[in-house]
Amino acid sequence: MELDEVTISRAILATQMETMVEYLDLDVAVVGGGPSGITCAALLAEKGVKVGLFEKKLSIGGGMWGGGMMFPRIVVQAEAKRILDRFGIASKEFEPGYHVAKSVEAVSKLTAAACTAGAEFFNLIAVEDVVIKGDGRLAGLVVNWSPVEMAGLHIDPLTIRCKAVVDASGHDATIAHMVAKKGGDLPIRGEGFMWADRAEGNILEHTREVFPGLFVCGMAANAVAGECRMGPIFGGMLLSGERAADLAAAAVLHP
């Protein structure tokens, strides 16, 4: 078989453009491809929700890739081990209640599971604004290529319409800040100091709908609530993604 460069280019453009046009309308937009966002997208897709995950960086995985200080291992507490098991992520008990997994395997298997379930990933896309109309509900995202944002180019964005948004953007709580900055009734207290036990213990309480149509999970949830950070223990991230999927699915499937 003789390969044709233009056919290769046409294949990439045609198939991705078709997907992007299809996903201008979706049920749930997950912003941020870290552990909570990937988990949320995977479980939403399993429930039959049309979900797209938007990540501003080239790679999916957020802080999980580097484990703790570039040692590619993560720790998950006993309550969250079932999430590792559900996605086929191998782990080893280090001490009672502390389970260690390989960060690269964790990211890879979570991402693969989300793809298999039907979630669509859109990397290198940054969210620069939100859509809120007369009913006061978050109804869409304004997006552009991340390199456009990085270069400071003046290029108009495009718009995604959705029924709900999950802010899984990590410490920055990007979407929550956008809503608050534009006058939305959304107080943001900011991330607290390091206290793993408190941060992990309270994250599910903070994983909730914080503005009509906007759910927060992972470190974005703790940042909005003024909660502590937890470092390289990721059980709370996984459990928060699971809870956000349940909440968002209920909102769009049974409004």
Q: List pLDDT tens digits, range 99-133.
A: 999 999 999 999 999 999 999 999 999 999 999 99
Spatial separation of the C-alpha atoms in residues 5 and 143, rounded to whole Å? 30
Residue 119, C-beta contacts closer than 8 angstroms, at least 6 positions apart: 30, 41, 42, 44, 45, 51, 52, 53
Q: What is the pLDDT of residue 155?
A: 97
Please report, in range form, the residues annotated as the binding site for Fe cation.
156, 171
Q: What is the pLDDT of residue 94?
A: 98
Please report, in range form, the residues annotated as the binding site for NAD(+).
36, 55-56, 63, 127, 154-156, 219
The answer, yes or no, to whether residue 218 has pLDDT greater than 90, is yes
Alpha-carbon dihedral sign for residues 151, 152, 155, 159: positive
Spatial separation of the C-alpha atoms in residues 92 and 100, rounded to whole Å? 5
Residue 121, C-beta contacts closer than 8 angstroms, at least 6 positions apart: 33, 41, 52, 53, 55, 60, 111, 114, 115
Domains along the chain?
Answer: 29-64+107-253 (3.50.50.60)
The per-residue pLDDT for range 131-187, each reduced to its tens digit, is: 999 999 999 999 999 999 999 999 999 999 999 999 999 999 999 999 999 999 999
DSSP, residue by residue, 113-146: HHHHHT-EEEESEEEEEEEE-TT--EEEEEEEEH
The answer, yes or no, to whether residue 255 has pLDDT greater than 90, is no
The per-residue pLDDT for range 33-80, each reduced to its tens digit, is: 999 999 999 999 999 999 999 999 999 999 999 999 999 999 999 999
Please report, in range form, the residues annotated as the binding site.
36, 55-56, 63, 127, 154-156, 171, 219, 229
The torsion angles phi and psi of 161, rounded to 5 degrees, stand at -100, 135
The answer, yes or no, to whether residue 201 has pLDDT greater than 90, is yes
The residue behind tokens 């960060």 is 103
The per-residue pLDDT for range 222-238, each reduced to its tens digit, is: 999 999 999 999 999 99
Report the candidate in 93, 8, 27 with the shortest Cα–Cα distance to residue 248: 27
Give the largest CA-CA distance in the chain.
60
Please report, in range form, the residues annotated as the binding site for glycine.
229
